[in-house]
Amino acid sequence: MIRTILFFNLFFIFTIEVCCQSMEDKKEMSDKKSPTEWKEEISPEQYRIAFEKGTEAAFTGIYNNHKDTGTYNCSVCDNPLFTSNSKFESGCGWPAFFKPVSPESVNEHVDVSHGMSRTEITCNNCNAHLGHVFSDGPQPSGLRYCINSVSLEFQKED
């Protein structure tokens, strides 16, 4: 009898927890904008790169040779992505960083487009395409986050 009561109490608690988590997930999803909603607020070039997974031409981006001290945020939603302390000259033609502000700042996805397998990087907040990460970067991470300048908005440190 006690086992049955204990089982049902645990089942009830688990059910409530799952239900509440599901409600929180739905609220969080409803707070985020869809690509269509973003299209009304950002430039056509930002939209092409962020939500159609485009790429700007190499060596043309405003942040490729940028040297100021500060934080590089997502140009779509202003989520902090990288700091100037992690930026380095890779010669790839796009701004390169060896680590994000935090592991939670970006998401990684397998990208098999264009006949190759790469790791795509997107903003963890708005899911905008940022660029790709490669395993040929400097220490301490050994990674090279190759990011479109159009995907970035620089916030200079005071």
End-to-end CA separation in angstroms for the chain: 67
Helix (H, G, I), strand (E, B) or coil at 129: strand
Structurally, the chain folds into a number of domains equal to 2
Residues 18, 55 share a domain: no
153 Cβ contact partners less than 8 Å away, ≥ 6 residues apart: 72, 73, 74, 75, 78
Residues 23, 72 share a domain: no
Domain hosting 7: range is 2-31
Residues 141 and 72 in one domain: yes
pLDDT at 35: 85
In this structure, the answer to whether residues 71 and 44 fall within a common structural domain is yes
Q: 19 and 49: one domain?
A: no
Same domain, 65 and 142: yes
* Same-domain check for residues 151 and 103: yes
Amino acid occupying residue 14: F
Looking at every residue in the chain, the average pLDDT score rounds to: 85
Active site annotation includes 146: yes
- Model confidence pLDDT, tens digit, residues 97-108: 999 999 999 999
User: How much is the pLDDT for 28?
Assistant: 42
45 in the same domain as 12: no
Share of residues in the chain with pLDDT > 90 (%): 73
Q: Is the pTM of this model over 0.85?
A: no
pLDDT at 124 over 90: yes
DSSP states along 19-55: HHHHHHHHHHHHHSPPHHHHHTTS-HHHHHHHHS---
pLDDT at 142 over 80: yes
Note the pLDDT tens digit of each residue in 2-61. 554 444 444 444 433 434 444 344 334 435 888 889 999 999 999 999 999 999 999 999
Q: What is the pLDDT of residue 119?
A: 97
Q: Which is catalytic among the residues 74, 77, 123, 146?
A: 146
pLDDT on residue 158: 80
Instruction: Answer yes or no: do 53 and 101 share one domain.
Output: yes
Question: Each residue of 105-118: pLDDT tens digit?
Answer: 999 999 998 899 99
For residues 42 and 66, membership in a common domain is answered with yes
- CATH code assigned at 63: 2.170.150.20
Q: Are 22 and 81 contained in the same domain?
A: no
Q: Are residues 44 and 99 in the same domain?
A: yes
pLDDT at 75 over 70: yes
